[in-house]
Amino acid sequence: MKRFIGFIKKEFYHIFRDKRSLFILFGMPIAQILLFGFAITNEINNVDIAVLDHSKDATTKEIITKIADSKYFSIKQVIISEAEIKSIFEKGRVKAVLNFEKEFSSKLIKNKQATVQIITDATDPNTANTISNYVNAILQQYQKQLNKDASFVYQIVPETRMVYNSELKSVYMFVPGVMTIILMLVSAMMTSISISREKELGTMEILLVSPLKPFQVIIGKVFPYIFLSIINAVIIVLLSIFIFNMPVQGSLFLLALESILFIISALALGILISTIAATQQSAMMISLMGLMLPVILLSGFIFPISSMPLPLQLISNIIPAKWFIIIIKGIMLKGVGIEYLWKETFILFGMTLLFIAISIKKYKIRLE
């Protein structure tokens, strides 16, 4: 036991002596969470659009002013012919063009109907769709104003209530996601590389013939990183509470325990990677190339899992990050306790055990 503690001490010294790495380890997650928390949003604001007004009457002018006044759009260009649309799209100057038909106002009065085209650059389908919806909402608002005298009968007016995030802040979505990718990748990368480094430099063999048992060597190597990742997690949670006003509706203690569980599962994954990889470079490439995009895309961080095709929904189940994101959102935003999260917790726990079991098996093979 004394030897083991000595070994852990040595590993701690190793890490804390390397000031540059420490700076990177703590500085980067802080910079990232600040940057993303403030900058990234999937709302749509200030989208540049162009207007093609064949009518130029009071009504179209009023509508255009309404659109320009909304926070969603800024009118960047007024064009005079259909031919111009193609070229401004090709230059990428605007995302949408509003095309009002001739005699808009008089048609609206006489025929009770006038037409406007919302032409969007749908190479980005999400933005195109959202723009189209927002313009429609503004038009509908305007119509209501026009028809305020007409009586509407048999109308159901639904009351919509947005729960857990009534202001629809996108930071509630991004902070848990960024927290997850940071903890996941930092923990997995750190361990995978530190063990494969020993292998590459040949020092692993020496450690393995020392009186320490192989699992003690591994735990000794991983232990400092558990400690570092916990500090990282604490920093991230504090930043999200104090800077981004993320609520913690549920128990902070449970959040801490779940974070530790997730960190350990990521570290275990790191160990598993290091058993496969022979060099630091391949360990890095596996953890970076193999983990980064799947974690970003399949965890529900940005894209809703329920919209994915079924095979991908199934694959998403083996991404530990998916379960952790559900857990963080549950604790922080919904305020639920373990009674609602036991399934997710159990799955993370099972994955961790599995990673560890496979790693131990692989190391034994190497020693024979």
Partner 1 sequence: MKTILYIIQKEFKQIFRNKGMLPIIFILPLLQLVILSNAATFEVKNIKFGYIDKDHSPSSRALIEKFNASTYFNVLADYQSETVASSAMLNGEVNVILEIPTHFERDLQKEKSNHLGILINAIDGAAAGVQKVYALQIIQRFNQDVKMKLMQPADLQNQPASIKSIPLFWYNQTLNYKTYMVPGILVLLVTMITLFLSGMNIVREKEIGTLEQINVTPIKKSQFIIGKLFPFWVIGLGLLTVGLIIAKLIFNVPMVGSLLLMYLYTSIYILVILGIGLFISNYTETQQQAMFISWFFTVIFILMSGLFTPIESMPKWAQFMTEFNPIKYFVEVMRMVMLKGSGFMDIVPQLSKTLLYALVMNGLAVWSYKKTN
Sole binder of partner 1 in the list 46, 65, 203, 210 (CB under 8 A): 46
The distance of closest approach from Cβ of residue 329 to partner 1 in the complex, given in angstroms and rounded to an integer, is: 5
> What is the DSSP secondary structure assignment for residue 73, as one 8-state letter?
E
Strands, sheet with 47-53, edge to edge from the N-terminal-most edge strand: 73-79, 47-53, 96-100
Judged by beta carbon, residue 38 or residue 346, the one nearer partner 1 is 38
Judged by beta carbon, residue 74 or residue 216, the one nearer partner 1 is 74
Judged by beta carbon, residue 221 or residue 329, the one nearer partner 1 is 329
| Distance (Å, whole) CA 225 – CA 263 | 9
Q: What is the CA radius of gyration of the chain?
A: 28
The distance of closest approach from Cβ of residue 194 to partner 1 in the complex, given in angstroms and rounded to an integer, is: 7
The distance of closest approach from Cβ of residue 147 to partner 1 in the complex, given in angstroms and rounded to an integer, is: 4
Judged by beta carbon, residue 41 or residue 77, the one nearer partner 1 is 41
Structure tokens at 81: 């012919």
Sole binder of partner 1 in the list 106, 123, 210, 317 (CB under 8 A): 123
310: exposed, middle or buried (Cβ count in 10 Å: 0-12, 13-18, 19+): exposed
Which residues within the stretch 276-305 sit at the binding site for partner 1 (CB under 8 A)? 277-282, 284-286, 288-290, 292-294, 296-298, 302-304
Judged by beta carbon, residue 4 or residue 75, the one nearer partner 1 is 75
Nearest to residue 221, comparing CAs of 363, 318, 346?
363
Which residues within the stretch 60-119 sit at the binding site for partner 1 (CB under 8 A)? 63, 89-92, 95, 108-109, 112-119
Structure tokens at 120: 């969007």
The distance of closest approach from Cβ of residue 213 to partner 1 in the complex, given in angstroms and rounded to an integer, is: 26
Which residues within the stretch 207-266 sit at the binding site for partner 1 (CB under 8 A)? none
Count of residues engaged in binding partner 1, rule: CB under 8 A: 120
Which residues within the stretch 153-192 sit at the binding site for partner 1 (CB under 8 A)? 153-170, 172-173, 181, 185, 189-190
Sole binder of partner 1 in the list 236, 330, 351, 363 (CB under 8 A): 330
Dihedral pair phi/psi, residue 232, rounded to 5°: -55, -45
CB of 37 closer than 8 Å to CB of 198: no
Structure tokens at 76: 């960047």
Judged by beta carbon, residue 174 or residue 363, the one nearer partner 1 is 174
**Is 193 a residue that touches partner 1 (CB under 8 A)?**
yes
| Distance (Å, whole) CA 224 – CA 172 | 31
Dihedral pair phi/psi, residue 158, rounded to 5°: -75, 145
HSE-up of residue 62 (Cα within 13 Å, Cβ side): 11
Q: What three-state secondary structure class fits 79?
A: strand
| Distance (Å, whole) CA 195 – CA 44 | 45
The distance of closest approach from Cβ of residue 51 to partner 1 in the complex, given in angstroms and rounded to an integer, is: 14
CB of 250 closer than 8 Å to CB of 205: no
Which residues within the stretch 300-319 sit at the binding site for partner 1 (CB under 8 A)? 302-304, 306-309, 312, 315-316
**Is 326 a residue that touches partner 1 (CB under 8 A)?**
yes
